[in-house]
Amino acid sequence: MGAVGSDAAGAGAPAGSTRHAPPGARAARPSAAETSMASAGTTPDAALTGAADLARPTGPAGSATSDPRTTPAPARYDWVDLARGFAVVAVVLFHVSIGQYYGMEHADAKLVAWWDRINQIITVVRMPLLFTVSGMLAAGKIRRGFRGGKALEASVTNAYLFLVWMTIYGALLAAAALTGREGVPFQVTSVPAFLVQYWAPNTPLWYVYALAVYLLVFTALRSVHPLAVLTLLVVLHLATTQTYTLESPLWTRGLLYAIYFGLGVYGGRLIRAVAANPALGALFTGLAYLLYQHLGMTKLMSAKVPEMPDALVVTALYVCAGLGVFSLAALVCRAAPYRAIGRYVGSHTLAIYVLHIPAITVLSFALEGPLFWLADLVRTNETVDVAYPFIGAAIVVTGCLAVEAFMLRCGLRWAFALPTGIRLLVEQVRLALAQERPLRRAA
């Protein structure tokens, strides 16, 4: 928790700002993020954190009394794209492993245990990193509030996407279950059981659900001192570790990971400082290694309720490891090819995230049909066996990108962005709030 505490101590200053408008700058130009959302999400991936901030970091914070329309265009951080892309691809790799690879016949049965250990190690950064990035990129709109920014639209966007994709999941998975084949994750057993998913999600869509809630809660608390909010988040986190386990419903992860979203919201300066200084990155990476060695994989992945000291060590481990990944991403992005890959994958994370479960299901069916030869190679060839999670993840990610492009070409943008009618309705609500309590403008 040292990393969280050290950042909280300096969190009174706005996090996430990178530069300020020069004196005399024209005040009528909206930010790039807001322009993107004003066009109903010209980049569909923009909605995953609730606004175009997912596709690029927020610019200057804008105080509670400022007009968000005066905010200059934000700078882009390619290492943020790369870190976000890594986190989402790691989610795909994990679900390919547990939902498909572990149940296949193998050339070497020991490889299952080997890959299980790799996924357990990646767990240290997978979802904590994704939530930290989301919090960092949503920080600007949270600080500008419901009346002065896009926080309300961001929350509604995520809620909308959750409802849309939960319905799509239900239809696709129910149809897949009717085939009687194995390899269908998150099976729909009954209509009542499925309807529960809309308020207590137990599919990977819990992440989108959590973002919708986080944006409302953190914006409502924006006037509270960051140190106080982080303290509450630590208490919530520790209480959750003592109440729920790895076997609990997935929606409970929203309580567990709120601390990392908060780190992103209030810790932007720390994150950028670590990304800009390889020595700091090495320091946090070393701390993560020492914490991991102290804890051990047995305690880290135990299904039992951890002791409070162990819960604190796990949290510190996740924070330090995440900061280490940010530093590594910044170093990797110094090479143009990796920077381009990170930017491309990072700007399509919404499609990859929401489509990867249906894609894994289709791939499972294909392994019993036209791709039977690939399953045979896993069973007979050790090289293919050990590489299959990477192969499967690559197929799934490529398929998600292809489906996204096809859906957008077919006019199905509503599956990735808030429709114009709903967006305008939300904007009317925001304007009504602003008229009721007008924003004070600087003289």
Hey, what are 411's tokens?
A: 């006019």
pLDDT digits (tens, 9 = 90+) for 126-159: 999 999 999 999 999 999 999 888 999 999 999 9
Residue 26 in this model has a pLDDT that exceeds 50: no
Tell me if 266 sits within 8 A of 7, measured CB to CB: yes
Asked if the structure places residue 182 within a domain, the reply is: yes
- Position 192 confidence tier, pLDDT thresholds 50, 70, 90: confident
Q: Specify the long-range contacts of residues 167-171, CB closer than 8 Å, at least 24 apart.
A: 168/358, 168/415, 169/203, 169/205, 169/357, 169/358, 170/194, 170/197
- Stretch 25-30: mean pLDDT: 38
Categorise residue 183: left if φ over 0, alpha if ψ from -120 to 50, beta otherwise: left
Whether 18 maps to a domain, the answer reads no
Helix (H/G/I), strand (E/B), else coil: 370: coil
Please report which confidence band the pLDDT of residue 388 belongs to, taking 50, 70 and 90 as the band edges. very high
Condensed to tens digits (0 to 9), the pLDDT of residues 285-318 reads 999 999 999 888 778 777 788 889 999 999 999 9
The C-alpha atoms of residue 412 and residue 249 are separated, in whole angstroms, by 31
Instruction: Give the tens place of pLDDT for each residue, 71-93.
Output: 444 456 899 999 999 999 999 99
With H, G, I as helix, E, B as strand and everything else as coil, classify residue 112.
Answer: helix
Residue 335: what pLDDT? Answer: 93
Residue with the two structure tokens 């914490």: 291
Q: Output the average pLDDT for the chain.
A: 82
Find where tokens 């990393």 sit: 3
pLDDT at 295: 86
- Residue 48 domain flag: yes
Confidence category of residue 114, pLDDT binned at 50, 70, 90: very high
Integer angstrom CA distances of residue 207 from 121, 211, 412: 20, 6, 22
pLDDT (tens digit per residue) in 318-357: 999 999 999 999 999 999 999 999 889 988 999 999 999 9
Report pLDDT digits (tens) over 42-60: 344 554 554 344 334 433 3
Residue 14 resides in a domain:
no
Is 262 contained in some domain? Answer: yes
Residue 82 is predicted with a pLDDT of 94
Alpha-carbon distance of 61 to 53, in angstroms, equals 12
Q: Would you place residue 118 in the very low, low, confident or very high pLDDT band (cuts 50, 70, 90)? A: very high
Q: Which amino acid is at 21?
A: A
Sign of the torsion formed by the C-alpha atoms of 269, 281, 261 and 85 = positive
Q: Looking at residue 139, what is its pLDDT?
A: 95
pLDDT at site 441: 52
State the burial class of residue 5 (Cβ atoms within 10 Å of its Cβ: 0-12, 13-18, 19+): middle
Q: Mean pLDDT across the stretch 353-369?
A: 92
pLDDT bucket at 186, cuts 50 / 70 / 90: low
Question: Does some domain include residue 380?
Answer: yes
> What pLDDT does residue 188 have?
67
Instruction: Please indicate, yes or no, if residue 24 is contained in any of the structural domains.
Output: no
Name the residue among 223, 186, 218 with its Cα closest to residue 204. 186
Higher pLDDT, 33 or 91: 91
Chain centre distance of CA 383: 32
* Residue 70 pLDDT greater than 80, yes or no: no
**pLDDT reading at 32 higher than 60:** no
Look at residue 6 and tell me whether its pLDDT is greater than 60: no
pLDDT at 185 over 70: no
pLDDT of residue 398: 96
pLDDT at 379: 95
Q: Give, in order, the Cα–Cα distances in Å from 12 to each of 18, 222, 229, 274, 440.
A: 16, 11, 11, 19, 21
8 A C-beta contact, residue 162 and residue 212: yes
Domain that residue 98 falls in: 2-8+37-66+80-436
Residue 437 — pLDDT band, cuts 50, 70, 90? Answer: confident
Q: How far apart are CA 154 and CA 277, in angstroms?
A: 32
- Number of domains, the chain: 1
